[in-house]
Amino acid sequence: MNMVWPEIPLGAWQETYSALHLYTQVVGKYRLARTPWINHSWHATFYLNARGLTTSLIPDAAGIEIIFDLISHAVIGKAGDGRRAEIALEPISVADFHARFCQLISQLGGKPEFHGQPNEVPDPIPFKHDRQIRPYDAEAVERFFHALVAINRVFYQFRTGFLGKVSPVHLFWGAFDLAVTRFSGRPAPLHPGGVPGLPDDVTREAHSHQVSSAGFWPGGSGTDFPAFYSYTYPAPQGFAEAEVAPEGAYFDRKLGEFLLPYAVVQTSTEPETALMAFLESTYRAAADLGGWDRAVLECPAGEPLRPRPLTKQA
């Protein structure tokens, strides 16, 4: 089995994935409630670490960090005063997870007060009322984590080739997508909103400026398979018809973005090269057709121990 780029077909773990998604929403809602707003909702995201996903330090009580340990299969809470608590990731209901998580936050000295309903999911059920017992396939979760590690490495490298404003590589728990976003520096027209399960003011603030955004989701956000995506806002004329790489990438007119099935990358002889080709070619289509100042915004990709070379000043 390829554990660097493992197979992660949605159908093989869809119920576990749905459960894990909702558990991250519970934790994400807590982080959202306690953390001051940062542009484009960057204050609410999760980040990869060596064990799974982390909130980073949340400004509650002595400082609280929540970690989804996807190797030991536990949610671990740590506080700045040394307190620690954890709950197992196992077959339970969302209501049980919510109750246990609130107790964990109380044990760490924090305030478990946050919005109690998921976003960006069909037919949302308040956490307290979702009593269906959900499975937990630990092996499938570990495969997914290893895929995220491989994807994160390529996304991070892609991020280094840009001097303009660029997001961290981070996971949005609403749609459960790992993403990285570049900005042209120019304001964008008011977004029309209408994203299911997401308040329009959040959508509009996230797209306040011209963007080229790429990411990965495990499936279920408009596809029934894991896929990489790339979109630009506002979409310039001709974007949907742009030629992009690698073979297997295509424009989905219903979603309004380019897609590349994860399986195309996973089965490639050079997965990192295939994924980077998708990131670079879709960005170039957005930047060229959208009139970005690429000469000012771009730089050589980063290398360890080598400062970015500076151009001579006029």
pLDDT digits (tens, 9 = 90+) for 56-114: 999 999 999 999 999 999 999 999 999 999 999 999 999 999 999 999 999 999 999 99
pLDDT score of 196: 83
Taking the C-alpha atoms of residue 9 and residue 269, their distance in angstroms, rounded to an integer, is 19
Going from the C-alpha of 131 to that of each of 49, 96, 262, the distances in angstroms are 30, 7, 32
CB 162 within 8 A of CB 182: yes
Predicted confidence (pLDDT) at residue 250 exceeds the cutoff of 60: yes
Share of the chain above pLDDT 90, in %: 93
Lay out the sheet containing 84-88: strands in order across.
47-48, 52-58, 64-69, 74-79, 84-88
Counting beta carbons within 10 angstroms of the beta carbon of residue 110, is it exposed (0 to 12), middle (13 to 18) or buried (19 or more)?
buried
Of 28-32, 121-125, 278-282, which gets the smallest average pLDDT?
121-125
pLDDT score of 313: 52
Tell me which H or E stretch contains 252.
strand 250-252
Residue-wise pLDDT tens digits, 117-159: 999 998 999 999 999 999 999 999 999 999 999 999 999 999 9
Count helices and strands in the chain by DSSP H and E runs: 7, 13
Residue-wise pLDDT tens digits, 177-225: 999 999 999 999 999 998 888 999 999 999 999 999 999 999 987 899 9
Residue-wise pLDDT tens digits, 298-307: 999 999 999 9
**Dihedral over Cα of 19, 20, 23, 29: its sign:** negative
pLDDT score of 314: 42
- φ, ψ of residue 125 in degrees (nearest 5): -115, 130
The stretch 18-26 carries a mean pLDDT of: 98
The stretch 268-288 carries a mean pLDDT of: 98
Structure tokens, 192: 């029309």
Q: Which of 277, 269, 290 is nearest to 243 (CA)?
A: 277
**Dihedral over Cα of 250, 254, 255, 256: its sign:** positive
Angle between helices 94-107 and 10-34 (to 10 degrees): 40
Residues in CB range of 290: below 8 A, 6 or more apart: 184, 210, 212, 232, 234, 236, 239
pLDDT score of 164: 95
Give the number of other Cβ atoms within 10 Å of residue 252's Cβ.
15
